[in-house]
């Protein structure tokens, strides 16, 4: 009898996993630029929260995640783990629940890369916890970036002190980060980009 009950519970959990899950569509990005990835939720049950952890290839970094379309609550990132909970359960359906922005460093080679949605757990309105056994994956295709003058952060055609100022403005939050502001291509804008600009100005 116990074996029969365990078999039923296992079968029910498998059905839940098959009918309730998160997934992302393939995306294409250029070297040194940001790319927006749509995170979708397919659910047969009413869902009140979900979480997943991103597994990114080297040179690809997480920038932000915002709720979209079917999900209206704030998405809270902790490192590469995303979590969101809502008081009003989301009805059954299939569509976009988040838009994730990733940055592709200029040093990432052209090609196709696999990104994982790992440790996906969804909670239904009836408090059923639905944990995905296998990671969902999607493909990120990286193409050659646009050719420009390295170090010309402000786009005026020259590499000079104004580009240093432009980098500092990004660091201070006074301007948005752009691919050009990541001068050394390491995925972040910091003092090392200032050093890189000075190196270009000195001909190094």
Average pLDDT of the chain, as a whole number: 89
Q: Is the pLDDT of residue 4 over 50?
A: no
The topology under which CATH files domain 2-143 is Immunoglobulin-like (2.60.40)
C-alpha–C-alpha distance, residues 183 and 160, integer Å: 13
pLDDT tens-place string over residues 149-169: 888 888 777 899 999 999 999
Report, as an integer, the average pLDDT of 18-46: 93
- Of 153, 177, 176, 178, nearest to 165 by C-alpha is 153
pLDDT tens-place string over residues 81-92: 999 999 999 999
Instruction: Kindly report the pTM of this predicted structure.
Output: 0.71
C-alpha–C-alpha distance, residues 102 and 60, integer Å: 7
User: Does residue 50 sit in helix, strand or coil?
Assistant: strand
- Of 11, 22, 19, 20, nearest to 135 by C-alpha is 22
- Name the residue with higher pLDDT: 53 or 31: 53
Map out the domains of the chain as residue ranges: 2-143, 161-201
Taking each helix axis from N to C end, the angle separating 191-201 and 161-171, rounded to the nearest 10 degrees, works out to 170
């Amino acid at each position: 009898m116990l074996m029969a009950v365990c078999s039923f519970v296992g079968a029910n959990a498998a059905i839940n996993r098959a009918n309730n899950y998160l997934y992302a569509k393939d995306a294409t990005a250029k070297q040194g630029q940001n790319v927006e990835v749509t995170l979708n939720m397919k659910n047969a049950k009413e869902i009140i929260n979900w979480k997943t952890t991103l597994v990114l290839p080297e040179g690809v970094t997480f920038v932000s995640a915002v709720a979209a379309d079917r999900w209206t609550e704030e998405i809270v990132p902790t490192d590469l783990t995303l979590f969101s909970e809502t008081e009003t359960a989301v009805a059954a359906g299939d569509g976009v629940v988040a838009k994730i922005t990733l940055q592709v460093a200029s040093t990432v080679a052209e090609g196709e890369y696999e990104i994982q949605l790992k440790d996906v757990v969804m909670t239904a309105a009836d408090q059923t916890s639905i944990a995905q056994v296998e990671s969902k994956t999607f493909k990120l295709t990286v193409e050659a970036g646009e050719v420009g003058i390295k170090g010309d952060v402000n786009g005026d055609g020259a590499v000079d002190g104004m580009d240093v100022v432009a980098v500092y403005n990004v660091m201070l939050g006074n301007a948005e980060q752009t691919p050009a502001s990541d001068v050394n291509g390491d995925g972040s804008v910091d003092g090392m980009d200032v050093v890189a600009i000075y190196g270009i100005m000195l001909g190094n």
